[in-house]
Chain A
Amino acid sequence: MNGQASSGCNPVGISKAARQLLESCTVGDEPLRRSATILNALPVLALDGELHSWFVPVTVGKRLTAFFQFLPDSTLMRFSSFCRRPGEFDGCPVASDWLDRDRIKSRAAEQRQMDETTGEPFLTYDRTPDRLVWAVPLTHVHGDVRLLYVAENTVYSPLAGDTFG
């Protein structure tokens, strides 16, 4: 493994680089390699809208089993797996909880207040890129916008204050 994946710096190139890393046995294990589907790279945006990194989901059936995170210059930040043991896919999150924008939107809508409308979710992070979340903008009738973060079943408002959490 090296720090730099050989790919173009675009979603197609990023996904291709992820595929090569998995196929070349650089990351992952044999059960994952046999069954995995590598999906299109999704942009991870900073709150100012700038591209921070790329998230490349790896699924087996309906489960999100693992993911890659690359910097925009295609440097691999990490390969992370939800599997506790090789081949144990059943305990992994349901892929649509992380990848289906409508589902994420409706999850956020459960905490929507009156006079608020739900905007389009975007993938971002809560303080550190390790903490990937979907941010869902809620716009009040008066024009104020607040965000809700959605991480699978967990929905919360961005935290104020300097804490490790």
Chain B
Amino acid sequence: MPLSVDLLQRVAGFELNALRAAEVLGEEFEKIGISRLGTPIHDINGTILYYRLRLSRGRTVSGYVDIAADEALGEPLLATSMGPIWDEKQLLEEGSAAARKGRRALKYDNVRFVAYSYPKIALQFLLEGTEVLMLELHTWAEVPPASSKDRKLLEPSNFERWSLLDEMPAQARRSRALSFKKRLSLWDVPELQRIDPRLVMKETLQIKDFAIKLFDRRELHYSVRDTDHYPCYELRGQQTNVWCVGASVEMVLNFYRYSYDQIRLAKELGLGTLATPNGLPYARVGDVVTVMENLTSNALDVTMHTNPGWNIFRNEIRANRPLISFVPGHSRTVAGYTSSLIALVNQIPFRGLLVYDPWPPNAGVITRWENFATQTYQYAYSSVLKQI
């Protein structure tokens, strides 16, 4: 059964407020208002799939939120975006102009937004309920008529129109409907009845006897204070194909304001020179502790953890301390973690690390997030500042 407009706006508000409270949504969402009027987006089969509601700060439109109208989507909140402005009226004008271009004889009495290939949107022009033209939003390219379904369900080809609702297996649809209802029930509790969620604020859901948190997540800050700035950590690419340990040590020491370059660190760690570099032998993993303590005049108390578990990483990051992480044959550093506290439908709770990886040479990558379940963690090095 479709949701009423008032309920849609209320659900959108709770969902966005929860994400804001969990800091999944950043400051740009603070004090954003949710429009009451939304644009219905239809499935190809005519059912309203979801509504796109405008987000605004005062009179300035700032973005939009998509809220499901059909239970088959599984979750009320589909997407939200800050930046792109959703202007239904302007889009209809642009689309109508594009429709008339080269089609002077075109007649229609209704235009609606359709997810012709979810989540891609088009304008569908109708005459007495029958489609006469469909144009993809923004590109205004004509969407071709439905092709024969000589393919697997839910595997459409490029620029093919297809119905999400008609192609979704019945079992998945039932399961998603259950999830949808469960999620709605989260917001239908006495503690929230007097709350007006139409304005997104970090504090909105901080109510006595009501707690919701979607993620446990933290990245290195300037200090342990949550309000301090971040990121407060920099990536260093390894300068040779075997200096990952040197680059990792450099990153951690830089965090503590020690400036040693990789050439010097290689010398201390026995990694050779730029011209004839070598890796750190497995038998010498303890050298990392010795070298880091020596180079900081023992201001850092470094500990090596063998086969480190999740809690080692999480606890160190909570204490605002980066770690070096050894995986087979390679070394990187860890500067954050995320852990899902709510398992969404058909999903397993995710635990991930924010990894500053010095590979590839002279570049490196920031991995946000590395799936903790798919990696082998051999050693980790934590460091505690003892004295200054």
Residues of chain A touching chain B, judged by Cβ–Cβ distance below 8 Å, are 1-4, 6, 8, 12-13, 23-25, 27, 30, 34, 66, 71, 75-84, 93, 126-128, 130-132, 149, 151-154, 156, 159, 161-165
Contacts and interface: CB of A to CB of B under 8 A. Distances in A.
B348 A164 contact: no
Interface of B: 79-83, 119, 152, 155, 234-235, 241-245, 278-282, 285, 326-332, 338, 340, 343-344, 346-350, 352, 355, 357, 359-363, 365-371, 373-375
A75 B279 CA distance: 31
Which of A81, A84, A164: most chain B Cβ within 10 A? Answer: A164
Nearest to B281: A163
Given A4-B348, A128-B328, A163 B279 contact: yes
Contacts of B241: 126, 149, 151, 154, 156, 165
Contacts of A12: 155
B79 A1 contact: no
A83 B155 CA distance: 32
A165 B328 contact: no
B342 to A, nearest CB: 11
B329 A2 contact: no
9 contacts: A27-B368, A30-B82, A71-B374, A93-B360, A127-B329, A130-B357, A156-B241, A161-B281, A163-B279
Which of B241, B282, B343 has the most A CB atoms < 10 Å from its CB?
Answer: B241
Most chain A CB within a 10 A radius of its CB, from B328, B343, B374: B374
Contact of A80 (B245, B340, B350, B357): B357
Contacts of A153: 361-362
Closest 7 CB pairs of A and B: A165-B279, A163-B279, A127-B329, A2-B347, A165-B242, A80-B365, A80-B367
A128 B363 contact: no
A152 B340 contact: no
A2 B327 contact: no
B332 A163 contact: no
Nearest to A29: B368
Nearest to B365: A80
Contacts of A131: 329-330, 359-360
A164 to B, nearest CB: 5
B79 A79 contact: no
B171 to A, nearest CB: 14
Contacts of A127: 328-330
A2 B328 contact: no
B348 A6 contact: no
